[in-house]
Each structure stands twice: as C-alpha cells, then as structure tokens.
C-alpha cells in the first residue's frame, strides 16, 4: 500500500492530480496538504472528498514541523509536490511570497522527506512539478529540451528554477529519489480566472473587456490539464530517478489568435452573432519582462514512456468552455470571493 502526500492538491493542476490518484489507485492512501490560499478551493474536489483513501489537511508547506508530523503519521512512500504561488503577474507585484512558498516551501518538504527516508530511500519517490518558464524565453525558432540552460526572467520563474535546483541538490547530496517535470501552459476545468483562458471565458460570458497584453504576439504552448496529470502519473511510476522530463502540447498559439478562437467558439455556444465577442478585445499595457515564446520538445517523454497529448486544442477548448458554462456557480463563487469568506468562517471555528 502506497501512502502519498500531494501538496497543493486543492489548486488547478493539483485537484486533477489528486482526483486521478484517488480514483485510479484505490489501494493508495492520498493525503492532500493545502494552505487554501485564494487559489485553493475544496469545491474542486467535491466529487472525491468522501472517498475512503483520501484525506485533506489544511496546512502550509513552509511549516516544517507540520510536514514532519505528517510524514511521521502517514509514513509517506511518495510525494507529489504541486503547491506553489503560480501566477506571474502576482509575482511581479509581490515577489517575496513566491520566494517563501516556492523556494522555502519546497526546501521544507524536501527536508522532511530526507529526514523520514534516510536509510530507506529505495522504494520512495519525491516528484517535483515544475514549469517550462525556468528555461526563459524563446525567439521565433527552437524548443526547450531537458538540456536547455535555465534562464528564468520573472520572480515566479526564478522561484521555480530555484526550487528545481534545490530538488536536484537533495538528489546529488543526500540521494533523495527525485523526479522533476517541466510543463508548458495548462488549461481546462477548475483553472482560476486570473489566468488568460478562464479570465477570457469569464469576461466573454459577462460581456466585459478581454485584456490582451502588448500586441498579443506572445506565444504559449497549451496542454489540456488531464494530459499533464496523465504524464505525471506515468513519470511517477515509470520515470527514472534523478531525471527531468519536459511535458508540452506541441500546440503553439499567439495570445491574440487564442483569444479570437475563444470568442469564435463562445459566440456559437452562446448563440451570439459572429464577431460579437471579438469587439471586447482590448489591448492593454504589456506585462513587465513578458517572455515572448515558450515551446516544449517532449521527445524524451514520448520515446521513453510513450506519452503523447490526447486532445486536439479546438476540442480541448470546446470541452473547457462547456465546463465553465455548466459550472457558472463555481465561477461566480471564485470571482466574488464567496468561497474565501466561507473558509475564513469554517476554519476560524476549529
Ligand atoms: P494554483 O495556483 O492553481 O494552485 C496552487 C495550490 O497550492 C493552491 O491550492 C494553493 O492553495 C496551494 N498553496 C499555495 N501556497 C501553499 C502553501 N504555502 N502551502 C500549501 N499549499 C499552498 O497552481 P497550478 O496552476 O495548479 O500549478 C500547480 C503547480 O504546477 C505549480 O507548482 C506550478 O508552478 C506548476 N505548473 C503550472 C502550470 C500551469 O499552466 N498552471 C504549468 C506548469 C507547471
Ligand atoms: O508555461 C507554464 C506557466 O504557464 C505556468 O508555470 C504558470 O503557473 C502559468 O500561470 C502560466 O504562465 P503564463 O504567464 O504563460 O500564463 P497566463 O495565463 O498568466 O498568461 C498567458 C499569456 O497571456 C501570457 O503571454 C500573458 C498573456 N495575458 C495574460 C493575462 C492574465 C494577457 O495577454 N492578458 C491577461 O489578462
């Protein structure tokens, strides 16, 4: 019986990952440690909250005593470390919270794992979920491979690069059995509407402006979130210890073309006249230090573990829009802050 710690399991990717592990591996015990920041939402896990192999713990990855206590109580054999501050724009206004959670938090979870596993590392896995942004910004040509030199340029990507280095340091120095993946931009259900795709879906529904930074020429490589967590599952179980795997969609879009595609599909789904939503597009001041282009070469993952993305983008976006239209209450709650007020009340009582 495996006992798995997932950190940040109430966030966007973490909730999909938690659902996958809890439902696919009923013989694993899964503990989800999440601080429930603005980005963490237990509504994302409503469908699995009663499963016998699942437990939620509210807590902070920077709290070494708490993480140590969880290792002692649950005797984890695996860690899927997802918890992070994840939004680039927030890192520009508040870099230190990114250093705290992403660097110190990762170091604390590594330290707790090292203490618990020293002398018995063989059957253990410490999996660190990271981002392609650590590699910096591409020009019009080329792709990020696992050998690309790190060149982070925002406080967010610098904090993630730093956490990746710390994970590798624990592998080389203490023999901690680590695995790392660096993934491109995810999209799908439960994506917090501060990020481009869910923000635009929310604003199109409400006929609000669609803010496109600069000229909208920046390029991102989009991957459906369920394909990402399927890759994590494969790497966790079959990837090599000490290795890094890039995960990406081979699906590059300029922001402006992506927003237009969202407008096109949503006009159809909402029964609006063709071109209606495009009129909402508003070019705004560019993001400081805005990386021009990200694009992943995922050949290693394909050749070693046979992983390829399962969904075409137009299909994935259509599914995603349908989910948001069918879950307007979720969207209204997270945008109105209702759920944050609920958690304040709920956990204040305890
Ligand atoms: P998210 O912001 O949606 O979720 C982050 C989760 O971490 C939230 O549930 C939050 O409450 C929790 N958290 C934050 N600080 C914490 C702390 N101190 N202690 C415990 N929990 C804490 O993020 P996401 O988009 O789901 O990203 C998850 C991970 O995947 C991150 O490490 C991110 O760097 C990485 N990643 C994201 C993408 C993407 O496109 N979203 C792509 C590649 C990699
Ligand atoms: O590449 C992986 C990364 O993708 C993850 O590590 C991050 O956690 C995740 O947030 C994401 O980072 P981006 O900065 O690429 O995602 P975001 O959705 O914030 O922005 C996507 C692009 O759209 C980017 O070029 C900035 C632009 N943008 C974004 C917002 C929020 C706009 O033009 N307008 C907006 O309002």
Q: Is the pLDDT of residue 335 over 70?
A: yes
Average pLDDT over residues 143-149: 98
Q: Report if pTM > 0.95.
A: yes
Residue 61 in contact with ligand 1 by CB distance below 6 A: yes
Closest ligand by atom to 228 CA: 1
The confidence score (pLDDT) of residue 349 equals 57
Counting ligand 1 atoms within 8 A of each CB, the residue from 7, 8, 97 with the most, and so the one to mutate, is 8
Q: Is the pLDDT of residue 350 over 90?
A: no
| DSSP 8-state assignment for residue 335 | H
Contact 179, 126 (CB under 8 A): yes
**Which residues are near ligand 2 (CB < 6 Å)?**
86-88, 131-133, 184-185, 195-196, 199, 211-213, 218, 220, 255, 287, 294
Using one digit for the tens of pLDDT, what is the confidence trace for 63-122? Answer: 999 999 999 999 999 999 999 999 999 999 999 999 999 999 999 999 999 999 999 999
The confidence score (pLDDT) of residue 243 equals 98
Contact 221, 257 (CB under 8 A): no
For residue 238, the CA-to-ligand 2 centroid distance in Å is: 30
Which positions are annotated as active-site residues?
132-133, 156
CA distances from 147 to 144, 181, 184, 221, 228 (A): 8, 13, 16, 18, 20
Residue 185 in contact with ligand 1 by CB distance below 6 A: yes
Q: Please name each of the domains of the chain with its CATH number.
A: 3-186+224-250+295-312 (3.40.50.720)
User: The sheet that has 54-58: what strands, in order across it?
Assistant: 54-58, 29-34, 3-7, 78-81, 125-131, 178-183, 244-247
The confidence score (pLDDT) of residue 101 equals 98
Element (H, E) at 147: none
The confidence score (pLDDT) of residue 225 equals 98
For residue 37, the CA-to-ligand 1 centroid distance in Å is: 10
């Amino acid at each position: 019986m495996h006992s798995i710690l997932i950190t940040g399991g109430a966030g966007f990717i973490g909730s999909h990952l938690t659902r996958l592990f809890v439902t696919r591996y009923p013989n694993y015990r899964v503990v989800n440690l999440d601080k429930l920041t603005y980005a963490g939402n237990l509504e994302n896990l409503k469908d699995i909250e009663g499963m016998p192999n699942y437990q939620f713990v509210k807590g902070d990855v920077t709290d070494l005593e708490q993480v140590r206590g969880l290792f002692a109580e649950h005797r984890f054999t695996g860690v899927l470390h997802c918890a992070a501050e994840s939004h680039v724009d927030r890192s520009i206004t508040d870099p230190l919270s990114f250093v705290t959670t992403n660097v110190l938090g990762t170091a604390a979870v590594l330290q707790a794992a090292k203490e618990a596993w020293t002398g018995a590392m063989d059957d253990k896995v410490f999996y660190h979920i990271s981002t392609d942004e650590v590699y910096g910004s591409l020009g019009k040509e080329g792709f990020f491979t696992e050998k690309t030199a790190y060149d982070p340029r925002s406080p967010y990507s610098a904090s993630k690069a730093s956490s990746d280095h710390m994970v590798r340091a624990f592998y080389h120095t203490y023999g901690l059995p680590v695995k790392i993946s660096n993934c491109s931009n995810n999209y799908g259900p439960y994506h917090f509407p501060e990020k481009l795709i869910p923000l635009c879906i929310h604003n199109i529904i409400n006929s609000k402006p669609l803010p496109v930074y600069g000229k909208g020429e920046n390029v991102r490589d989009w991957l459906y979130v369920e394909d990402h967590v399927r890759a994590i599952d494969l790497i966790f179980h079959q990837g090599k210890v000490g290795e890094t795997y890039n995960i990406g969609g081979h699906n590059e879009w300029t922001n402006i073309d992506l927003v237009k595609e969202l407008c096109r599909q949503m006009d159809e789904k909402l029964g609006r006249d063709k071109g209606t939503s495009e009129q909402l597009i508003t070019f705004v001041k560019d993001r400081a230090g805005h990386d021009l282009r990200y694009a992943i070469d995922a050949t290693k993952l394909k050749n070693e573990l046979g992983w390829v993305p399962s969904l075409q983008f137009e299909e994935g976006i259509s599914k995603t829009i349908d989910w948001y239209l069918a879950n307007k209450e979720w969207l209204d709650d997270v945008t109105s802050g209702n759920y944050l007020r609920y958690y304040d009340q709920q956990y204040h009582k305890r």
